[in-house]
Amino acid sequence: MKPHREQNFYEIFEIPPDATKRQIEQAYELAKKTFGQSSLAAYSLFDSDERKEMIRKIHLAYETLSNEEKRREYDLEVMGRTIMPPQPRPEAERVKPERIQPVSPLPDRTPEKIEPVEIATLTGDRLRQIRERRGIPLQEIATKTRINITYFEFLERNQYHSLPPPVYLRSYVSQYARLLGLDPKSVSDRILSLAERNPSDAEKRSGDVSAKTETG
């Protein structure tokens, strides 16, 4: 997984190079919540200068990718090719958004004390067992943290190769652990270690290409 400072704009937002404008906007809003002033996890994991640099790059990425001309220039300069955004579908083919139903306030089930666990053998599956023993639905964690539930599902299934880059993953896991009454730093360090041993398919392909280039 690349450090945040080495990621291109698409990697920062965790979106494909041919992402739609809507996908870019959604990714931008998620990134702002992850590193914004209201994110306790970001404040506990990164110092002021790191957080400011992340926020600056997030805004720059959005400013570039949301502008068709700037995005075309960026794709050509950084990605090495022109990637045209998908054309909007005809009105008749568009999926109408579902009506949002009001949601009742969630009960506060945050544990009062940190529960000790064996970090050296901790896995996503073990985290799921702890969560279920506490009677906390996964959807409740996703709602409280405002993080896509899919990431937590990947975590609990030990699908580390599907998890986001470290700069986001540490924040996500820390918030998850805190709601379970576990030590955020120890748990996030352990999960990041497991994720580093299980690179994503894209990273594997990138490594294969680099190896071929060096040997060629």
Q: Catalogue the E-assigned strands of 19-151.
A: none
Q: What is the pLDDT of residues 162-196, one digit of tens each?
A: 898 888 899 999 999 999 999 999 999 999 999 98
Amino acid occupying residue 28: Y
Confidence of residue 213 (pLDDT cuts 50, 70, 90): very low
CA angle, 77 then 34 then 153, to 5°: 100
Same fold yes or no, 4-87 and 119-197: no
Confidence of residue 210 (pLDDT cuts 50, 70, 90): very low
Amino acid occupying residue 3: P
CATH domain 119-197 topology = 434 Repressor (Amino-terminal Domain) (1.10.260)
Task: Show me where the domains of the chain are located.
Answer: 4-87, 119-197
Contact in structure between 166 and 192 (CB atoms under 8 Å):
yes
By three-state DSSP, how is residue 200 classified? coil
The predicted structure's pLDDT at residue 112:
54
The predicted structure's pLDDT at residue 94:
53
CA angle, 166 then 110 then 178, to 5°: 20
Q: What is the pLDDT of residues 68-103, one digit of tens each?
A: 889 888 888 887 665 555 555 555 445 555 554 554
What token pair was written down for 78?
């950084």
**CB-count exposure of residue 150 (10 Å: 0-12, 13-18, 19+):** exposed
The predicted structure's pLDDT at residue 39:
53
Please state the CATH superfamily assignment of the domain spanning residues 4-87 in this structure: DnaJ domain (1.10.287.110)
Q: Tell me, letter by letter, the H, E, C secondary structure of 152-195.
A: HHHHHCCCHHHCCCHHHHHHHHHHHHHHHCCCHHHHHHHHHHHH
Which position has the token pair 């041919």? 18
Q: Rounded CA gap, 27 and 29, in Å?
A: 6
Which position has the token pair 């190896």? 211
Q: What is the pLDDT of residues 40-58, one digit of tens each?
A: 545 555 567 777 888 888 8
Q: Rounded CA gap, 176 and 145, in Å?
A: 8
